[in-house]
Structure 1
Amino acid sequence: MVSQNKKDIRIALFICGTPVPPVAESFGEYPVIFKSMLDQGLQELKSQGTIDQGAEVVLEGFDVREDFYPENLYDWDAIMMTGSASDAYNDLPWIKKLVEYVRSIPRSNDAPKVIGICFGHQIIGRAFNAKVSKSTRGWELGWTQTDLTEAGQEFWQDTVMRIQELHQDVVHGIPPGFKLLATTEHTTNQSMISDDNRIVSVQGHPEFTGAIMREVIKFRTANGTFSKELSEASMKTIDNPLDSVTVAARLIQFIR
């Protein structure tokens, strides 16, 4: 049963993929990983005295690949979409349904806000008529410092966002009705927000720590996904400082 405590932050996590086996074994599946990130953001807000001390993150996973969606959309404060090994531009039935679902979510104040992470960011791009495809630049991998636009500095409350990246698909341009929040040389659209402040997305992975990313790189280098050169370059910065807690705190504030 969904928490009815109005202090709680109720998040429906749309599961679009599965962590690689070493990550799942050591750190848990996506609901555990995302809950950990969001709990850290919540604790940061509590330490600042900017959110009720009794608030908790209530998160439930819905595997949309298996057609599992919330019965009542309005039970939730936010919908958050995970990353995926699938391509957001693919026409698999579950991906097409997810695109239509995201497009049809009401934009009223009582409806849940929408947050997209990596694949989720790309699904939002597709849902609102941006082109999504593989990047001509190949993989953007590991620790990355994104530059924030003026709107991004206001939203993310900083001048840069340091985050782990794991993608070769990108959203080209900014969909109508959205503003760009962050960018890199590799990927122009690193983060965006809808003009009505109901939808926000991030291309990178705030839920990935350096330790998680290390396991991903090792696993995908061993199976031939990443070249030895790309792997070695990414490993050099794997433990650089991240802004994950700040990003998680801002996402909770966004939901609120």
Structure 2
Amino acid sequence: MAPLRIAVLECDTPLPPIDDRYGGYTGVFTTLLKASAKALNKPEQLDPENDLVISQWNIVNADKYPNLEDIDAVLLTGSKHNSFEDIPWINRLVEFTQQVLAQDRVRILGICFGHQIIGRAMGAKVGRSDQGWEIAVCDMELTEKGKEVFGREKIRIQQMHQDIVATLPQGVTLLGHSPRCAIQGMYAPRRFISVQGHPEFTEWMETIIIQTRAETGVFNEGQAQDGLSRVGNEHDGLAIGTTFLKFLLEE
């Protein structure tokens, strides 16, 4: 089996304690994807130690992108930035995403901000939700296709967003929804899969983010306490990571 070459397009730098431990979002996602490859337990298809070739691309500051011939997938990370802004690096990312979507070999994984960028690249409206923030472990109700793709009836996932994909792009399948977000996941076979939540976030990471945003006034006391009360709940990050790998390996 040839290695699976995944380019992680880092759309942000994690908060210092997370960055120090993992070395950027690439380290965070490498941890999730290696654990997911072990959980997948198909070493003849994907050896967790040798078959994941993950490269790091700082697209906010360096503005360098991988050649599509050199990779099999791109992963668009979350970000504190707004997916709808008209600024050079975000516009460049939207253009690159459109290039990937225009071909049929390299696939895309989109997480949070990355999910929104895919929506924007396909002409969907992205912007602030009128429902406010969705924080910590929340239920994602799955559509019939969502149940098939994830192999379960419901998904619990760490959340950290106030921006949403507001309209489903043409030709795209909805995977799930929640009371605060109508488009929690999108899917196009052999092209892309995306989620609004954060399968890569652990209780420790999410706690740091909530506490930092409370200290800086982004969250009020009630929001912070609500988030911290659910941050340790069981979630399906590993199962979502496994679904991502199955999607990338699918012929």
Quote the offset at 1:242 in angstroms. 1.1
SS at match of 1:87: coil
1:87 to 82, 97, 108: 82
Candidates 64, 67, 84, aligned match of 1:68: 64
Alignment counterpart, residue 51 of structure 2, candidates 40, 46, 56: 56
Q: CA deviation at 1:219?
A: 1.0
CA-based RMSD of the aligned residues comes to 1.6
> How many residues matched?
247
TM-score between both structures, scaled by the size of structure 2: 0.94
Letter in 2 for 1:221: A
Match of 1:247 among 226, 240, 249: 240
Paired residue for 1:168, among 141, 154, 162?
162
Aligned 1:132-171 pairs, distance under 5 A: 132-171=126-165
- How high is the sequence identity, in percent, across the aligned residues? 35
Find the aligned partners of 2:3 and 2:234 in 1 and give their Cα distance: 29
Partner of 1:218 in structure 2? 211
Q: What is the SS of the residue equivalent to 2:182?
A: coil
Indicate conservation of the 8 Å contact 1:206/1:247, yes or no.
yes
- The equivalences for 1:18-57 within 5 A come to 18-46=13-41, 51-53=45-47, 55-57=50-52
1:107–1:198: 8 Å Cα contact kept in structure 2?
A: no
1:236 aligns to what SS in structure 2?
helix
Residue type of the alignment partner of 2:165: V
- Name segments (4+ residues, structure 1) moved above 2 Å: 25-28, 48-56, 106-109
Shift of 1:225: 0.9
CA distance in 2, matches of 1:172, 1:50: 40
Query: Which residue of 1 is the match for residue 193 of structure 2?
Result: 200
Gaps in structure 1 of 5+ consecutive residues: 1-5
Cα distance change, pair 104–53 in 1 and its aligned pair in 2 (3 A): closer
Question: Normalization by structure 1: what TM-score?
Answer: 0.92
Moved more, 6-15 or 183-192: 6-15
- CA change 1:50–1:153 in 2 (3 A) is farther
Q: Is the 8 A contact 1:9 1:77 kept in 2?
A: yes
Q: Which residue of 1 aligns with 2:99?
A: 104
Q: Counterpart of 1:200 in structure 2: which amino acid? A: I
Q: Any gaps of 5 or more consecutive residues in structure 2? A: none
Tell me, in whole angstroms, the C-alpha distance in 2 between the residues paired with 1:52 and 1:142: 31
Distance in structure 2 (CA, Å) of the matches to 1:200 and 1:106: 12
Distance 1:62 1:53, change over 3 A: closer
Q: Give the C-alpha shift of residue 20 in structure 1.
A: 1.5
Q: Structure 2: how far apart are the matches of 1:173 and 1:114? A: 19
How far off is 1:121 after superposition?
Answer: 0.3
